[in-house]
Amino acid sequence: MTTETDSSVIVSKTRELCQTILEQPEFQAMRQRIDAFLADESARSLYQVVSEKGQHLNHKQQQGLPLDGGEIADFEQQRETLVNHPVARGFLDAQEQMHQIQESVSQHVAKTFELGRVPTPEDFEGGSCGTGCGCH
């Protein structure tokens, strides 16, 4: 049974973790790349075009419809333009870095629940994500 005191300690420590993440120079650099992307209309537009074309192709594939070679080539060309756009590339890299941080925090919390203790680096070796996951 969780008491209000236990909950407030967890929330307090979670807030400390959030503050620590915010204070990291890497995080600040990620935010700057995201802000630069948000301020760049051409990068945002290109990103939207690639996202919409990708969703369209994915939808067609899920419906069992044949994918047109021209559509695929157009998508690939637009995607290539996106990844070569410096501001968009910075945004994509920042998104990936943020995802990795989120994944790392989630893995550590999940491993703590699984083990009943704070995990060590050795607990993450071998690529296993835990028992019952179906990956081994």
Query: Model confidence over 86-102: pLDDT tens digits?
Result: 999 999 999 999 999 99
- Position 7 scores a pLDDT of 84
pTM for the full model?
0.77
Q: What is the pLDDT of residues 23-50, one digit of tens each?
A: 999 999 999 999 999 999 999 999 999 9
- Position 136 scores a pLDDT of 41
Could you write out the DSSP letters of every residue in the chain? Answer: ---HHHHHHHHHHHHHHHHHHHHSHHHHHHHHHHHHHHH-HHHHHHHHHHHHHHHHHHHHHHTTPPPPHHHHHHHHHHHHHHHHSHHHHHHHHHHHHHHHHHHHHHHHHHHHHHHTSPPPGGGGGGG---TTSS--
Domain boundaries, the chain: 22-106
Q: What is the pLDDT of residues 63-122, one digit of tens each?
A: 999 999 999 999 999 999 999 999 999 999 999 999 999 999 999 999 999 999 999 999
